[in-house]
Amino acid sequence: MITEAAETTTHVVNELPIPAEAFGLLAFTGLMALLFVTYAFRSIGSRH
């Protein structure tokens, strides 16, 4: 009974819009940009 229900279900595969490696590169690039913005403002508090 359970195996019959499992056999009748269809497996849906959703294709990614871009290659998987591109997600990692985009995340790395975005986080590095945020790091550089944070680093640029590191001494603002000591100026005033």
pLDDT tens readout for residues 1-48? 666 666 677 788 889 899 999 999 999 999 999 999 999 998 887 876
Cα distances (angstroms) measured from residue 12 to each of 2, 7, 9 = 20, 14, 9
Q: What is the pLDDT of residue 17?
A: 93
Domain borders along the chain are 17-43
